Amino acid sequence: MTSPLPCPARWTLALLVLGLSATAGVGCNSKRDGQGTLLATGTGAATAGITSGATPGALPPGTPPIAGMPQAAALDGPSIEITSPAPGAAVTGPRVTVEGVVTDLGLGIAEVHVAGRTVPVDASGVFRAEVDVTPGVETVLVEAWDTTQRRRARHVSVVAGDLAAEADLLPGAASIRASDAALDLIEPQVAQGVEAQRAQIVQQVLATRLGNDTKMTGFRFGAVGADVDAIQGGARFTISIADLAMDIEHKAKILFVFNTTKRGTIRAQRLDIEGTAAISVQAGQPSVRMIQVVARTQGFSVPDWADGEEGNIRRGLEQSFAQAAAPAFDQALQAAFRTTAGTQAQTVAGKPVRVDWRLERLAFDDEGLTAVLGANVQADRVVNASGPTGSVARRRALPTLAGGGQAGSTNAGLALGEDLLARALHAAWRAGAMDLRLDAAAAQRLGVPALDTTALLLLAPELSQVVAPGLPVVLDVKATMPPTLTVNASGQHRLALGGLRVTTLVQDPQQGLIPLADADWAIEADVTLVARGGQLVLEPGATPPVCHVDTVGAAAPGTETVLDRMAPALGAQLLRAALAGQGALTAPALPGFTLDDLRPSAVDGALVVLGTAKPAATRAP
C-alpha cells in the first residue's frame, strides 16, 4: 500500500473532458456576433456541390424551418473592428481596456455597447471602455446599432487572471480526507508490512542474549494483526502477535564440576506492541517517529526449571521483540501514509499527459487524517505551441474536509482545487484535445445528427442560391485558447471556451472538401457535477449555453442572419464535440481500494467528492 487515497486504476474523475450531453434540441442563447462571409465566393463555383446558379427552392416545397430559429432580415448594422485586446491575450489585472472603431455604413451610428454598457464614440468612430473581468476565459461583446436599429456585433476572448507557469507544481492542489473508519482499511496492509519482515525480526530476536549461560536456539510466531487509530498529530497503534514460541538452551554446572544442558520452549499466547507514532512530511515523503512503545505478553509460560527466571525472560522477550519489530512497523506505517508521488502517465481528454503528485503535509486529528498534495499536469506532446504560457491560478484555499464516518457509510473525501482543474484543462488543450473534426462519423459517436447542406438550407433557405442540398458538411475546429472552469457552491459551474476557430467545409463528390467559411466561436455553459458508473462527469445545466460567433473574412449580404440561425443548432454540437473525449484525470490513490457511493458537491474554489472507501475486491458491480 502506497497511499491513503483511493485507487488510481479505479477511482478516476472524468472531470476534464466533460462529455456534455447537449442534444440536437439543446441550443445556444445566441449573442449575435458577426461580420464577414459564410460562403467563399468563387471557390468551387462550377462544382456539383456549390453553384452560383443553384435553383431557388431546392428544398421540397413547404419544408418548415426548425422551430425557434429566427427569421429576421439581414443584420447589416455598422461595421465593428476591435483593435485591443488581441484575441487570446493574457490580462493580469481586474479590468481590460477594450478599444475599437465603429464605421458608419451610411445610416449613422446610434449607439455602441461594450459588455452591455453604452460607451461614447468620437467623430472618427473610435471607442474605448474599461471592462471588469474575472479569472478564466472572459469574452467581451461589442455591439453597435445604426439609426434604423440595425445591429452588428463582434467579440473578443481573453484569458484573465494570474497565470501559473506550466512547469510549476501547484501548491495545495488537492486534498484527501480519510476518517478513522477509513483508516481501518489500511490495518491489514500494515500487518502485512510487518509480516513481510518476519525473517529479519526472527534473526534479530535470536541475536538477543538472555544471559551468560542462556541462549535462544529457535524462534517462531504466528499471525500478525494491526490496529491503527488517528490521534492529534499522528497515530496510535497496536501490533498483535499470536502464538510465540522461543526455544532456549541453558548450561549449568553441578557442584561446580559437572556441566549439564537444559533445553525447553518459552511460549506466549499473544504479544501486543503498543505505542504512538508522530507522522510528519519531509521532502514529500512521510516521516514516522515512534514514541512511547511498550510490549506486553499474555499467556506466558516457561519450562519448570526456568521458573525462577520467568520475570527476566518475559522482559527480555518483550524488549527484544519490540526492538526487532519497531523498524518493520515504522516502514509499514510510512508505506501506509505515503501518497502516490512522482510522474504518472495518464490520459485527459483522450490525450496523453504527465501528472506529478507531491505530498505536502499530513494533518491528523481524533477523527482521521487529511493529506494535502501539490500537483502538476503537463502535455506529453505539445500540439498547440502558442497561446497562454500558464494556467489560470485563483489560489483559493481548499475546503476543510473533516468529520467521522462509520464503515459502510461516507468515510473518505476528495477535494480538487480550481487551479488543478485549470492546469489539467490547459495541459489537455496543449496536447490538442480541443482540435477536432466534426464529420458524420464524429456525429454518430456523439449521438447528434450529422450536418449536411440540407440542414443548412433548413436554417437559412436563402442559401439555396449558392448551395445544393444533400451534401455532407464538415466542421474543423482549432482551439487557440484553453477552456476554463469556474466552480460555484451552487453546483452550477461555469465552463468557458474561447478562441474556437471553426472552418466549415462541404464534401463535394468531385473536388473533395471545399472550404466555405471561417468563424471564431466563444461558448459559455453552466454545467453540473454528477456521478455515473463510478465516475464523475460534468453535464449541462438547465440554462442553454451562450454562443458568440464572428465570421472571418470579407462580408457578404445576409451573413449575420445565417450565423444567427445556425448558432443555436451548431453551438450545442460544437460544445458536445469539443468535450466528448471522456478522458479522466486520475486522482492520487490507495492501490487496492475504491471509492463507491459517490456524492459530488462543491464549494467556491473546489470540487468535492464524498464516498465510501472499500477494498477493491468488495466493490459492488
What domains lie within the chain, and their CATH numbers?
Answer: 1-178+345-621 (3.15.20.10), 197-336 (3.15.10.10)
Q: How far from each other are the two terminal CA atoms of the chain, in whole angstroms?
A: 23
Nearest to 293 by CA among 339, 250, 326, 244: 326
Residue 616: predicted pLDDT: 64
- φ and ψ at 169, to 5 degrees? -70, 135
Residue 480: predicted pLDDT: 92
* d(C-alpha 365, C-alpha 615), whole Å: 23
How far is CA 62 from its chain centroid? 49
* d(C-alpha 429, C-alpha 445), whole Å: 21
Which pTM value belongs to this model?
0.79
* d(C-alpha 27, C-alpha 575), whole Å: 10
Residue 530: predicted pLDDT: 78
Which residues neighbour 526 within 8 Å (Cβ) at sequence distance 6 or greater? 492, 493, 494, 495, 540, 541, 542, 543, 545
- DSSP code for 284: T
Alpha carbon distances (Å) from 51 to 5, 46, 307, 462, 577: 62, 6, 111, 13, 30
Nearest to 523 by CA among 544, 552, 493, 551: 544
Q: What is the mean pLDDT of each run of 10 residues along the chain (621 residues)?
A: 32 31 40 36 33 36 36 62 95 95 86 95 94 96 92 93 94 89 84 86 80 79 92 90 90 64 90 89 84 88 85 84 80 70 68 86 88 90 90 90 58 90 91 87 80 78 76 90 91 91 87 84 86 72 85 61 69 67 49 74 86 65 39
Q: 533: buried, middle or exposed (CB in 10 Å: 19+, 13-18, 0-12)? A: exposed
* d(C-alpha 600, C-alpha 590), whole Å: 20
* d(C-alpha 11, C-alpha 593), whole Å: 8
Residue 53: predicted pLDDT: 36
User: With contact defined as beta carbons under 8 Å apart, do 42 and 573 qualify?
Assistant: no
Residue 44: predicted pLDDT: 33
* d(C-alpha 290, C-alpha 297), whole Å: 20
DSSP secondary structure string for all residues of 43-97: TTTBSSSSBTTPPTT-SPTTPPPPTT---PPP----EEEEEESPTT-EE-SSEEE
Residue 555: predicted pLDDT: 44
Alpha carbon distances (Å) from 531 to 113, 153, 401: 41, 39, 19
Residue 591: predicted pLDDT: 52
